[in-house]
Amino acid sequence: MQRFFLQPNRAYRDFQLVYGLLALNFLIPATTYLLDPVGTHERLLGLCALVGEDGWPSSESSHLWRFLGISDVYVLGFLCVWLMLDLRRHIAALPGLALLKALTSLQFLWGFAFGSGHRLFLGIGLFDGLTTALFLGFALRAWRALPTADEGLVPRPIGWLKRPTT
């Protein structure tokens, strides 16, 4: 643990920390959505009450949208972990990750501005915009700071997709 926090490549360390938290931020709720949809809906209504709204502006009983949401959030978590495993080799996943979250942000902001005006839409849209900025900022900063060899990086990239040299 000490090697991780004291490693000389701070950008890589910070990327690993932020992406680890973001991965948990997606994987835990996606599992909750899947296993406890009623509890998830109750927590959503609690958030609505917290921002002074009287419920959610649409029905949350649709399996279609719940299943699509679960898939979306699991993919976000998977891509965070994928990038953490080997940023140099998996950097091509970053645009897709950022696009997925940016589109969600824009949809919620659009829904707030031109739809229901629900305050939670604004909060979700702004939070997802911040998340998109975190994706791009931490990954690109770490990617630029990567040394030519993986020595000294903690954790060391897995490199399991690396072609064998002959």
d(CA 84, CA 147) in angstroms, rounded, equals 16
pLDDT computed for residue 121 by the predictor: 95
Q: What is the pLDDT of residues 68-86, one digit of tens each?
A: 889 999 999 999 999 999 9
Beta-sheet strands, E only, within 5-100: none
pTM, 2 dp: 0.90
User: pLDDT tens across 96-133, in order?
Assistant: 999 999 999 999 999 999 998 999 999 999 999 999 99
Chain-centroid distance, C-alpha 134: 9
Q: What are 18-62's pLDDT values in tens digits?
A: 999 999 999 999 999 999 988 988 998 999 999 999 988 876 667
| DSSP for residue 152 | T
Distance CA 99, CA 87 (A): 18
